[in-house]
Amino acid sequence: MDGGQEGAREGRLAQIRAAIVADPENAWATEMGYEPLYVAHPAARIVVIGQAPGRKAQESQLAWNDVSGRTLLTWLDVDEATFRRPDLFAILPMDFYYPGKAAHGDLPPRKGFAERWHPPLLAEMPGIRLTLVVGAHAQRYYLGRTGSLTENVRAFRSHLPGVVPLVHPSPLNFRWQTRNPWFASELLPVLRRRVSEVLERD
């Protein structure tokens, strides 16, 4: 991508961000002082599709800024500096704002949010070569599957080389990983190899 093309795409990405902030459906978040939390750059190679920012991430304006994020970096075998490079990693949760607390954990991403905002953002990132689909909400949208999260992740080979479905790296999922040892022994080596391939390409 030449400099002129990249500059034009950066301009359109800025326009999309302004539209997200100005959207009346997000007025409640703006009133709370929240900025939309996502990362998009014309040169990005890998996109991480999660669910929605947690409170800590929203308040710090840094996605995956918690124990789950540290686990994710371990799964990807990349360091913090690499992960934070927007020309390498894009981050598009299914909602760009912290949705609030539910009885157990956080509320789910709002319905229709990703459907509205992901396509125009992804259109300005033509270099994406690997999509990481983290958690059930993202998998329902991006994989079009009605199976369980375990079934989706277990079938990871059917989505290669462009997509890898993942369980959420939350510490709360340690029992899931214990029950599914294939995740560490089979999926993670493939994931790390694909990440390395994509990051090392010219």
Query: How much is the average pLDDT of 57-73?
Result: 93
Domain count, the chain: 1
**Is the predicted pLDDT of residue 64 greater than 90, yes or no?**
yes
Average pLDDT, the chain: 94
Section 95-118 average pLDDT: 91
CATH value at residue 107: 3.40.470.10
- What confidence tens digit (pLDDT) does each residue in 138-164 have? 999 999 866 899 999 999 999 999 999
Residue 101's pLDDT is: 85
Q: Please compute the mean of the pLDDT values over residues 18-34 and round it to a whole number.
A: 96
**Residues paired with 90 in a beta bridge:** 47
pLDDT band at residue 2 under the 50/70/90 scheme: confident
Given its phi and psi angles, is residue 196 left (phi above 0), alpha (psi -120 to 50 degrees) or beta? alpha
- What pLDDT is recorded for position 131? 98
Across the range 101-114, mean pLDDT stands at 88
State the pLDDT confidence band at 123, using cuts at 50, 70 and 90: very high
Structural domain containing residue 128: 3-200
Q: What is the mean pLDDT of residues 14-39?
A: 96
Cβ-contact 168, 182 below 8 angstroms? no
Which amino acid is residue 152, in one-letter code?
N
Q: What is the tens place of the pLDDT at every residue in 162-172? A: 999 999 999 88
Write out the two tokens for 82. Answer: 């690499």
Q: Which of 1-10, 103-112, 162-171 is modeled with the greatest confidence?
A: 162-171
Nearest to 159 by CA among 145, 147, 144, 143: 143
